[in-house]
Homo-oligomer: A and B are copies of this chain.
Amino acid sequence: MVVVLKNEATTQQINNLISWFEEQKVAVHISKGEYQTLLGLVGNTTNIDTDLIEGLEIVECVKRISDPFKNANRKFHPDDTVVDCSGVKIGGGEFAIIAGPCSVESEAQLLEIATKVNASGATLLRGGAFKPRTSPYDFQGLKAEGLELLLEAKEKTGMPIVTEIMNANHLPLFENVDVIQVGARNMQNFELLKELGKTDKPILLKRGLANTLKELLMSAEYIMAGGNEKIILCERGIRTFETYTRNTLDLSAVPMLKELTHLPIVIDPSHACGVAKLVKPMAMAAAAAGADGLMIEVHNDPPRALCDGPQSLTPEQFDDVAKRVFAIREAVKSLD
């Protein structure tokens, strides 16, 4: 951490500040410049509150040099983490496609979709039972009943299931869920993250709509600090000024996160784009960029099929996407 002092700081004030840092058990290197004096803090600075220091009258600014995340940091854990989702592995070269409907609607719906996406290469089944909706008047999901349907589909198809949690009080209902998803709007619901840190379930943690990668990693750190290291990061589009697409898929998050962390990274092109036609090219691009997995919405809902074209992919479209994704992975691998 580097603390830049203002020119008008008196020696007395500087000495007071240095003493205070030393009490916090960090060593201080002073670098007096013609225009500016810098204090370089060396040692364990993770517990020093940057905002507090920046608020001091004699401080111009504070630059944190080392990353504030530890457990998630590749520097201290160079090997890729491989998350085992009830037998399906993600990370460290293991690639998986998670597919299924946005909302669980019925047993027949789930089974049909599950069987088809599995045949096309998906190995994890997703489906929403508890749905976060911006409006209190929108459909909130089948809730506990939806979870039941997912568990039945799991039993019948053998596919491990991924579904979203919105409230730590619901954890007992998730006992047989294989991967628990934390949605974008709950990425900084720290109370929920702490509770998930006490479980031993794989957690699929989605990046918030306007959150940085550092904030995503700090949220992973909340879960890991509780002892649960089975985290799959998920980029699902961020808010930008663009309006043709619902969000902007930040694909560079894949190689950037691979530098920063050992945790696996999965891409959700369906939510990012909000347009079925973009799912195929972006899924292919994600594979080329080195993602550890994909999460894709697939639907066969007749009311939606009304006009022959729901936003989610049909199982047939998904099959085409999956083929191309696997082909690109082969092409990439053959060059390594």
Residues of A within 8 A of B (CB): 2, 4, 7, 9, 13, 16-17, 20, 27, 29, 31, 33-36, 38, 40, 42-43, 46-47, 49, 51-52, 54-61, 63, 65-66, 68-69, 75, 132-139, 166-169, 185-186, 188-191, 194, 209-215, 218, 221-222, 225, 238-245, 248-256, 259-260, 272-278, 280-282, 284-290, 303-304, 306-312, 323-324, 327-328, 330-332, 334-335
Contacts and interface: CB of A to CB of B under 8 A. Distances in A.
Q: What 4 A-B pairs come out closest when comparing CB atoms?
A: A57-B309, A55-B311, A210-B210, A331-B331
Contact of A248 (B27, B218, B250): B250
Contacts of A186: 189
Given A31-B29, A57-B308, A166 B185 contact: no
A135 to B, nearest CB: 5
A63 B60 CA distance: 13
Given A212-B243, A307-B16, A2 B63 contact: yes
A51 B299 CA distance: 14
B306 A56 contact: yes
A contact patch SS: mixed
Nearest to A257: B244
Given A255-B282, A256-B244, A215 B288 contact: no
Contacts of A59: 307
Contacts of A17: 306-307
Given A134-B188, A189-B189, A287-B288, A43 B49 contact: no
B221 A136 contact: yes
Nearest to A169: B169
16 contacts: A13-B306, A31-B40, A33-B40, A51-B311, A52-B310, A55-B309, A56-B309, A56-B311, A167-B168, A168-B169, A212-B243, A249-B252, A256-B278, A284-B288, A323-B335, A328-B332
B242 A213 contact: yes
A68 to B, nearest CB: 5
A129 B252 CA distance: 29
Nearest to A334: B327
B248 A240 contact: yes
A191 B166 contact: yes
Contacts of A133: 190
Contacts of A282: 251-252, 255, 289
